[in-house]
Chains A and B, each alone.
Chain A
Amino acid sequence: MPPFHWTSNVEDAKQEQRTIKELLSLETGLPPSLSFNTGLAIGCSYEENTGRAFAVGVFFDETGSYSTDKRELTADAEVDFPYTPGLLAFRVGPAICRLLDQVSEQVDVLLFDGQGIAHKRGLGLASHIGILYNKPSIGVTRHHLFGNFSHPPTGKLSSTPITHPQTHRTIGYALCLGDNCEPCFVSAGHRISVKDSLSFVCKIAGEGCFPRPLNRAHTIANATARKFYESRRN
């Protein structure tokens, strides 16, 4: 399958985001119970010294448990794109797409370590890749990037809305996954409503302060990038 084209020009990348945002849908493409067979959590990492992006996919089920019969998937790609806040997709997208080209048909929903619509141009990594594969997708991050929110009260699964600074519409949620956890930030990617994206993450999060399958994918992606760098250095 021929790969998607990714620009290495920052201004072209912003224009690309503005244009494909027209394809964004926040209508939930999962059953009302948000049930699904196979989810894929995607963690990614960019190794600065070698200019290489890494993506790791971890399959998970409705309880958020990793699939035991499917191993993690990894993919990497050489990428020449400068670090620019809000344009993460253009750094790690080629590796993610290389991974998804192998398995997208088997997956019902995508979970990303990145933003969805809680993004300056309304099109973070989760929305961008969700659109390319036209799959329901959700973004979860440890860091707040865009929008106004107040810290959620202490307590497992307590949340507060993140609102758009101009329109004041809810674009995501700050969510505490445990009593002693800092909030993580959930936003709808594509083909899922803002509210359903929160319910979905609550449903699959498991124990810990960050959704379990995503945490695993992120950890493996970072380790893979580090290992790659060390292998090149030696």
Chain B
Amino acid sequence: MKNLTVALIGGASGVGKTTLLDAVGLSQFSTGTFFKQRMSLGSRDDVRKGDWSQYESEVAEDIAASILQVFNQNQSAIIDTHFAAKVNGKNYRIGLKRSLLFEIAKRCFEYGDNTCRSIYIYVILVDCDPYSLMDRRRLDKRRDRELIPSDCVNTLRQNRGFSSQYLTEMIRAHNKKQWEMNHKVRYFVVENKDLSTAQNQVINLLQQTPE
């Protein structure tokens, strides 16, 4: 039976996650889109300007349901997310509450045990240097991103920090009980200096899941 992968791919807004995933050519879903739908907003970029925290539980449910739906099609689930996000356009906090992350991971492992498949959860931080982030935010005309130079420094730092909390929750769910299948949790950093190198890195990472 084929093993299944969940890749939580996160990083600062503008770091190039969506472009990277589009280039890799994998089907994916975005937590920003779930929030946008739940909050009835016109754009993903409006999510961080509002108080998205009250929609977290519903979005976590959406994410878990989407992962299991993709698993049912025998596919890997790729989630485009932010490990850190601003609430009301001000302070940063973790992209989803730790308890919700734990629940998502637990449900994935339960699915694996129920279908006799090993689940590989990858937490992948897409990172770059602040100058590249500043350039990308300036040059990307498709999106409405803030051009506060200090924010480019802060958002990278916050995403690095909170990515480890995502990892912690995945590991906590993994160690919660003696699972029947050989589930695994891994953490990777992809430096998005140039698209093709980063693209190959992501493809190689996702191919690491053994059959």
Q: Give residues in A with beta carbon < 8 Å to B.
A: 1-5, 7, 15-16, 19-20, 22-23, 131-132, 134
Contacts and interface: CB of A to CB of B under 8 A. Distances in A.
A15 B153 CA distance: 12
Given A23-B130, A23-B131, A134-B131, A15 B138 contact: no
A7 to B, nearest CB: 8
Contacts of A23: 130-131, 153
A5 B149 CA distance: 8
Consensus secondary structure, chain B interface: helix
Given A2-B141, A19-B154, 9 more contacts: A1-B139, A2-B147, A4-B147, A4-B148, A4-B149, A5-B147, A22-B153, A23-B131, A132-B149
B24 to A, nearest CB: 27
B138 A1 contact: yes
A68 B150 CA distance: 38
Interface string B44-81: 00000000000000000000000000000000000000
B22 interface: no
A109 to B, nearest CB: 17
A131 B149 CA distance: 9
Contacts of A20: 149-150, 153
22 contacts: A1-B139, A2-B138, A2-B141, A2-B147, A4-B147, A4-B148, A4-B149, A5-B147, A7-B148, A15-B150, A16-B148, A16-B149, A16-B150, A19-B149, A20-B150, A20-B153, A22-B153, A23-B130, A23-B153, A131-B149, A132-B149, A134-B131
Interface in B122-162: 130-131, 134, 137-139, 141, 146-150, 153-154
Nearest to A15: B150
B153 A132 contact: no
A197 to B, nearest CB: 21
Contacts of A3: 147
A25 to B, nearest CB: 10
Contacts of B149: 4, 16, 19-20, 131-132
A5 B144 CA distance: 13
Nearest to A128: B149
A49 to B, nearest CB: 29
B90 to A, nearest CB: 11
A19 B150 contact: yes
Contacts of A22: 153
Contacts of B130: 23
The residue in A16, A19, A134 that gathers the most chain B C-beta atoms within 10 A of its C-beta is A19
A76 B118 CA distance: 62
Contacts of A2: 137-138, 141, 147
Contacts of A7: 148
A19 B153 CA distance: 7
A15 B146 CA distance: 17
Contacts of B147: 2-5
Contacts of B150: 15-16, 19-20
